[in-house]
Amino acid sequence: MPVGELADCIGITPANPAALKNGRAKAVRFARLSALCEVLECQPGDLLRWEAEDTAGR
């Protein structure tokens, strides 16, 4: 599904799902995650993965 179409389905700007898709999002609201799962007919685990923070620069 194109990002613009997905954004229209859940009522947000295309920049938001694009940031999620490209790994630039720092957070996601549960309501938005729920809407994404409903439209895409999936579970949150299908969309998210955990990555350890890079602590080398701290």
Average pLDDT over residues 28-48: 94
pTM for the model stands at 0.76
pLDDT greater than 90 at residue 20 = no
Residues with Cβ < 8 Å from 57, sequence gap 6 or more? none
Q: Tell me what pLDDT residue 58 has.
A: 60
Average pLDDT over residues 13-40: 91
- Residue 56 reports pLDDT greater than 90: no
**Are 18 and 3 contacting, i.e. CB atoms less than 8 angstroms apart?**
yes
